[in-house]
Amino acid sequence: MVDPHLLFEQLFNGVQYGILLFLLAAGLTLVFGIMDMMNLAHGSLYMLGAYIAATVSLVTDSFLLGIAVALPATLVVGIFLEVVILRKLYDRGHLDQVLATFGMILFFNELVRLIWGPAGIEVPLPSILNQSLTLFSIPLPLYRILVIGVGLAVAGFLYVLVVKTKVGMLIRAGASNREMVGALGIDIKKIFTLVFGLGAALAALAGAMAGPIFAATIGMGENILIQVLVVIVIGGIGSIRGAFVGSLLIGVIEIMGRSFLGDFFKLFLPDNAAETAAPAAASMLIYILMAGVLFFRPQGLFPARSG
Amino acid sequence: MKKTFILGVSALALTLAAPQAMAAKAKEIKIGFVTTLSGGAGVIGKDMRNSVQIALDHLGNKMGGVPVKVLFEDDQVKPEVGKQKTEKLLYKDKVDIISGFIWSHVVLASRNSVVKAGKFLIISNAGTSKIAGRLCHKNIFSTSWQNDQVPMAMGEVLNKRGVKSLYIIAPNYAAGRDMVAGVERTFKGKILGKDLTKWPTQLDFSAELAKARASKADGVFIFYPGRATNAFMRQYAQAGLTKTPLYSVFSVDSLSLPKLQQAKLTNVLGTYSTQFWAPDLDTPVNKKFVADYRKKFGSYPSHYGAQSYDSIMLIDSAVRAAGGDLKKMDTMRAAFRKADYGSVRGKYVYGNNHFPIQDFYLRKVIADADGKWTTKIEQKVYTNHQDVYASKCKMKKTW
């Protein structure tokens, strides 16, 4: 029988992992949904955010200051990219966009190597955050609790921004019918730049938060981007709510799969086979879910476009 | 008439033979060195390249009086790229010897190209069981170890230290499974759980660490090379597992320790790992190597570097034995088999599969006199240990 303590702890881990995915997915889904722009370099902005935050916090010995610098810095980089490169790609097909942004990934990986070297940087945390908090006799890493808190705050902020403000109204309108928004005399270009900058800042926040867990390394964005793409496909492209639900779903499934699939397989497979098959099967679970969603609800769980 | 004919033929033979005799000593020795120079694993390649540089410095850039040139190629941790680069070195650059190789799967893909070209392959790291066993070859030598040996030594250490139960976490790829098999072969206690994680993309270990803690094992055994080391160590501390001793192989080394120190992960201090070598290994050659490396590059070399240094020194011993004539393959092979050179680990002998029969040590992480984190040898675990795959190699030991 599964230990309820362990089950609760893994649920916590799943939620935390999902929240980290959400920080990335929120930005990507906005860019993809509203601008109809496939931006693979989103992972590069995540990496950039992680590196900048790590460097600043190493120099100043303040983790908070690292985040405070990384966010606006990456936002500026994002806006620069949008104005100089991506703007020229809006009218092209998705394939051109994929090629161009893939090129940007290579560019950023090399750039980071030139500036910071190949080894990656470790981000020291204030020692208080390197501990765990014991809750119902389960030690939960304090830092991961913080990640969940930040993620929920961002989700709340985005909810207010998208649902309650005029800018949000325009973003939603842009997501469901771009041409109509333009026809009504709204400067859609400005909205695009704003959305892209916002996405970049969110990616940087995700990177800065991920740094102390995974360390800032070259190519860190590509690994996680695949799962983020799965999240936005499941959640519905362009939908923040979808990204939130999708992220938590993927996070929990991923962690639960890794935790308990091995034991489950052992019920009917020899130990050795179960041990090797379980990790492979666990990493397939989210794709199986995605295939299922695509089959029954091709538009995703919470489609943003209704037209 | 007959006399003149014989004279003529002899003269002709002389003219034919003369240039060959003159060419016997090579003008230049070219060594192709395949390693990883890009991506996260680029740090390993850099350390190997630095160590090759130290070896060349010690040799005065000459082997047996012949100038040496080492050509480095980047395999990008991809078997197909490694094979391609190996063939480029063999056929375009026309190198005399191939060396290097960090990764088991890369060397497996490149092995046949070297064998087919009839050149020597001196492996500086990859310790795949296949090349130690079934795929051994008269022209292939290793200056490292076979993967299983290091975790086997760790299993013995655990027995000696009275560790009764263990939780194992390792990546799910060839070397990861080798490491697990190695520790399971010698550890006599109970294995309470085992997680094989997706490699190399999975860097979140929250689920595995929670299971390890719930198992209440006496110790945790891990194998996480490269950038995964730091991610793992950090999460280990954050998950409140600091009271459970951590035993690692190929994870905590001179490459990861500066980073771990930078991150102030003090829980790494005092942890144990096994290896055939440590920066403080007390041999004259090692002292000189480590001191010169530190002077030139400002950090401790890793075992990857030590093995690469040895590869170059081993090649030097064979080139000298052949008097600089690289066509004397048999003479060179005989010299390789003797391993009569100044190795950082001291004298060792080759088994029938051309893998070293050597000692293994238990190392502990400490802060050195300057406060830099490094590993220090605690005790010898194995003396003259041979890998278990040697019996699967068809070569017979005739030296």
- Give the closest-approach CA distance of A214 to chain B in angstroms: 5
Q: Cβ B198–A123 below 8 Å, yes or no?
A: no
Q: What is the pTM of this model?
A: 0.86
Q: Which of A74-88, A186-200, A293-307 has the lowest mean pLDDT?
A: A293-307
Q: Cβ B38–A118 below 8 Å, yes or no?
A: yes
DSSP state of B98: E
Q: CA separation (Å) from B20 to B6, B23, B69, B117, B333?
A: 21, 5, 23, 21, 22
User: How large is the average pLDDT for residues A150-170?
Assistant: 92
- Give the closest-approach CA distance of A28 to chain B in angstroms: 20
Between chain A and chain B, how many beta carbons pairs sit less than 8 Å apart? Answer: 123
Position A12 in a domain: no
Q: Is cis: bond before B200, omega within 30 of 0?
A: yes
**Given pLDDT bands bounded at 50, 70 and 90, which one contains residue B20?**
very low
Number of independent structural domains in chain A: 1
Q: Cβ A132–B240 below 8 Å, yes or no?
A: yes
Domain range for residue A146? 17-129+140-296
What backbone torsions phi and psi does residue A237 show, to the nearest 5 degrees?
-65, 130
User: How large is the average pLDDT for residues B122-147?
Assistant: 95
What's the CATH number where A89 sits? 1.10.3470
Scanning every residue of chain B, which has its alpha carbon at the shortest distance from the alpha carbon of A283?
B198
- Give the closest-approach CA distance of A215 to chain B in angstroms: 6
* Whether B40 contacts chain A with CB within 8 A: yes
Using a CB-CB distance cutoff of 8 angstroms, which residues of chain A are in contact with residue B198?
Answer: 279-280, 282-283
Note the pLDDT tens digit of each residue in A176-205.
Answer: 777 888 888 888 888 889 999 999 999 999
Position A26 in a domain: yes
DSSP state of A124: P
Rounded Cα distance, A157 and A12, in Å: 22
pLDDT for the residue numbered B395: 95
3-state secondary structure of B195: strand
What backbone torsions phi and psi does residue A180 show, to the nearest 5 degrees?
-65, -40
Position A179 in a domain: yes
Scanning every residue of chain B, which has its alpha carbon at the shortest distance from the alpha carbon of A120?
B40
Q: Which amino acid, one-letter code, is at B201?
A: T
Rounded Cα distance, B374 and B365, in Å: 6
Using a CB-CB distance cutoff of 8 angstroms, which residues of chain A are in contact with residue B235?
Answer: 141, 213
Using a CB-CB distance cutoff of 8 angstroms, which residues of chain B are in contact with residue A10?
Answer: 207, 210
Q: Cβ B259–A276 below 8 Å, yes or no?
A: no
Position A10 in a domain: no
Give alpha helix (H) positions in A160-298.
Answer: 166-176, 178-183, 188-214, 220-235, 240-266, 271-296
- Give the closest-approach CA distance of B261 to chain A in angstroms: 9
Using a CB-CB distance cutoff of 8 angstroms, which residues of chain A are in contact with residue B208?
Answer: 258
pLDDT for the residue numbered B21: 45
Is residue A167 within 8 Å of A157, Cβ to Cβ?
no
Is residue A258 within 8 Å of B197, Cβ to Cβ?
yes
User: How large is the average pLDDT for residues B160-183?
Assistant: 92
- Give the closest-approach CA distance of B51 to chain A in angstroms: 17
Report the residue from A6, A223, A280 with minimal CB separation from B210: A6
Q: Cβ B40–A217 below 8 Å, yes or no?
A: yes
Beta-carbon-side half-sphere exposure of residue B45 (alpha carbons within 13 Å): 22
Using a CB-CB distance cutoff of 8 angstroms, which residues of chain B are in contact with residue A50?
Answer: none
Is residue A45 within 8 Å of A23, Cβ to Cβ?
no
Q: A182 or B86, which is more confident?
A: B86
Rounded Cα distance, B113 and B183, in Å: 33
What domains lie within chain B, and their CATH numbers? Answer: 29-145+281-357 (3.40.50.2300), 149-275 (3.40.50.2300)
Using a CB-CB distance cutoff of 8 angstroms, which residues of chain A are in contact with residue B204?
Answer: 17, 213-214
Position A66 in a domain: yes
3-state secondary structure of B32: strand
What end-to-end distance do the CA atoms of chain A give, in Å?
A: 48
- Give the closest-approach CA distance of B68 to chain A in angstroms: 28
Using a CB-CB distance cutoff of 8 angstroms, which residues of chain B are in contact with residue A4?
Answer: none
Which of B87, B97, B86 is closest to B31 using CA atoms?
A: B97
Position A229 in a domain: yes
* Whether B287 contacts chain A with CB within 8 A: no
Q: Which of A70-84, A154-168, A170-184, A267-281 has the highest mean pLDDT?
A: A70-84
Residue where the block lists tokens 């993927």: A250
* Whether B214 contacts chain A with CB within 8 A: yes
Report the residue from A124, A125, A275 with minimal CB separation from B262: A124
Note the pLDDT tens digit of each residue in A219-264.
Answer: 899 889 999 999 999 999 888 899 999 999 999 999 999 999 988 9
Interface mutation target, options B238, B241, B302, chain A, most CBs of A under 10 Å: B238
pLDDT for the residue numbered A237: 87
Percentage of chain B exceeding pLDDT 70: 94
Position A146 in a domain: yes
Using a CB-CB distance cutoff of 8 angstroms, which residues of chain B are in contact with residue A123?
Answer: 263
Using a CB-CB distance cutoff of 8 angstroms, which residues of chain B are in contact with residue A58?
Answer: 262
Report the residue from B201, B203, B210 with minimal CB separation from A13: B210
Position A284 in a domain: yes
Q: B104 or B186, which is more confident?
A: B186
DSSP state of B40: T
Rounded Cα distance, B261 and B252, in Å: 11
Token pair, residue B16, equals: 């034919």
**Given pLDDT bands bounded at 50, 70 and 90, which one contains residue B211?**
very high
C-alpha B372 chain-centroid distance: 24
